[in-house]
Amino acid sequence: MKAAGIKGVSSRPNNIQHTFAELYIIHEGDTYNLQDILAYVSQDMVKKYVNLW
């Protein structure tokens, strides 16, 4: 983010992954495909990431 001149934005991998997961669900992605994309073993972790349940 520094190289791009972007300030005030957290670019830790967890934040980027969380944002991706939320946007994926918002744009009608399903949790099972998201589970595959994020390489999670269980739906429980996916649910934590997208705060659905």
Q: Are 49 and 31 in contact (CB under 8 A)?
A: no
Q: Which residues lie closer than 8 Å to 47 by C-beta, 6 or more apart?
A: 31, 53
pLDDT (tens place) for every residue of the chain, 53 residues total:
667 777 777 778 888 888 888 899 899 999 899 999 989 888 888 887 777 65
pTM of the predicted protein model = 0.69
Alpha-carbon gap, residue 3 to 39, rounded angstroms: 29
Name the DSSP letter for residue 41. S
